[in-house]
Structure 1
């Protein structure tokens, strides 16, 4: 850990959104062929059952996390019920998902919380009923509201992107667009703060000539970048919270013929993102490891169900800077390495 995590905790006010709950799938082990998706067949009530609640169903990061959790559950002969909010920030949907999993009597719940304080009441009730609760990808506030957390150090991820983009300027004056995530998101804020720290900037700095929330969405990011370019077309550096946002920003600068002028960095480390680095669309991306998060979470629930031992604390699942243009003083790996390890 490269920073004091407690120093970056903050209280946020969040709006409660409309109720939306998407069943991403009730995914089970081989026993499903003998019974229904509700687990009534096969091993029945004796089968370990794990709930997974992600922020959205469609974001590639959460798709990868869900697939990894499914595979880990299958290896452990456990049942996985995967639920998701409709959009990033859908706290109401996640609350309803947790309540549904409590009613189904799961052994453990893995959750990537959209609202790191708004979900606490539902988590508290799950733990009161003896259910193990583990946060993946995003820590709750406070972190000890759950039994354990397996996640990226998002401040460190942002800091790596910031330090790298700063180094590429090689002394030129920075003119930066900042494309954040969802307002009130702990992940968005930590990556934002880390980027500023790594780049050596502060909020409100004149070097930041444009800033927008892109909600982790490619189309939103493209529209936001187009609007920022109308006011400041001399941008030379773009920070992006994730690779879908980076893709939208790249489309916008391409349409304006600015690809030679602007350098884009990102965070995710998907195989597609690594290919974008290799192609020169992105200068670098910071790789995360959702497969590790999901696998560790499932294994912890299985161990708890068998032994009663609860995991605890925060586990940093790792960050690696991926680029084919390394800079002195910043450890990195090439895109060849990245394509062998993407989202592992």
Structure 2
């Protein structure tokens, strides 16, 4: 294996420092306990509730938690919605966790529709940690372990503006939902626009910015926003959303996508229409990194779901055994698990790693 480049070392170093700092306050992986109960660490019931069990991001999160559960003496229950948008599936899983007497819940909250169930769990004494998707408001849970999704979107936008090099940007925004408010959705979308140098109005609302104007990122230029379409975070949704956008304007040359399955679907629609466009995305799974390598995706912001799940589980196990609660990262209202832009087309002033480097630290198949 080749040595990491200086850029990758900096990226990994940030993640390592964050992990090490947290590990100093996390539970002892050897199974010993300072809970004062006289003996070993007690078994702790924890539920991991993801949005679905098919998205590679959530599959990686589940696998990582399962692999790490025994090290922390955790009895782990894994549950999820049937698909993106299944609030009731998550609500049922939360209620089951309360009924089992679990000590904590790790959840990627579907939307504000699950807030009341989370509050019920906390009132019942469970420590609730959101993973990947900070709830709105953030105080709905005890703490969130997540990527800084705003920063992830900004990296995409800064890179895209540099690549446009002053040319008119005809933009399609392929979001997660159009009927639910999810922080990861608006933070990535609005972060992308901010990175492009496009003024946003309500930073927590997609689609209310001016549809035409000037972007100030890179060399600056004119922009037109053709559409905000919901792809539901899935490949087929991304394809249908892109088809709708192309029907509005066939000259789209820049596509932002909420995640990599959406990006793959968007590329399929573009290819079928005989069109090409620069595509940016977020996630950094191994399949997504391979899409960067092949040129399907121009750049993707890589996040680390396994770290979110394992650190969250360690935190609940520690708390259940009398330890301290985790604290947010400095200057944020959540615990930041890191992000790195993966691209093979480096842009001046935008820190990134190559697809080969990203493949060494990616997740999923």
Tell me which interval the TM-score lies in, with the shorter structure as reference length: 0.7 to 0.9
Q: What is the distance in 1 between the residues matched to 2:62 and 2:265?
A: 24
Aligned to 2:221: none
Q: 1:245 aligns with which of 222, 245, 262?
A: 262
Aligned to 1:5: none
Aligned to 1:335: 355
Q: What is the distance in 1 between the residues matched to 2:45 and 2:131?
A: 17
Aligned to 2:324: 309
Find out whether 1:61 has 2:57 as its counterpart. yes
Aligned to 1:8: none
The 8 Å contact of residues 118 and 140 in structure 2, kept in 1 or not, is answered as yes
Q: What is the distance in 2 between the residues matched to 1:211 and 1:143?
A: 25
Q: What is the distance in 1 between the residues matched to 2:346 and 2:323?
A: 46
Aligned to 2:289: 274
Aligned to 2:193: 196
The 8 Å contact of residues 285 and 322 in structure 1, kept in 2 or not, is answered as yes
Q: What is the distance in 2 between the residues matched to 1:209 and 1:110?
A: 37
Find out whether 1:127 has 2:117 as its counterpart. no
Of 224-233 and 273-282, the range deviating more from structure 2:
224-233
The alignment covers a number of residue pairs equal to 297
- TM-score after normalising by structure 1: 0.83
The 8 Å contact of residues 148 and 336 in structure 2, kept in 1 or not, is answered as yes
RMSD of the TM alignment (CA)? 1.6
Q: What is the distance in 2 between the residues matched to 1:123 and 1:208?
A: 36
Of 184-193 and 283-292, the range deviating more from structure 2:
184-193
Alpha-carbon displacement from aligned partner over 1:52-91 (angstroms, at most 9, x marks no partner): 1111121111111111111121222321101101122222
Q: What is the distance in 2 between the residues matched to 1:253 and 1:92?
A: 34
Alpha-carbon displacement from aligned partner over 1:169-202 (angstroms, at most 9, x marks no partner): 1111111111111132221111111011111224
Find out whether 1:231 has 2:239 as its counterpart. no
The 8 Å contact of residues 136 and 182 in structure 2, kept in 1 or not, is answered as no
- TM-score after normalising by structure 2: 0.78
3-state DSSP class of the match of 1:177? strand
Q: Offset of 1:211 from its aligned partner?
A: 2.6
Aligned to 2:211: 205
Q: 2:169 aligns with which of 165, 170, 174?
A: 174
Listed as ranges, the gaps of 5+ residues in structure 1 are: 1-45
Alpha-carbon displacement from aligned partner over 1:206-257 (angstroms, at most 9, x marks no partner): 2112331111111011112122212311111111110010000000111122
Q: Offset of 1:308 from its aligned partner?
A: 4.3
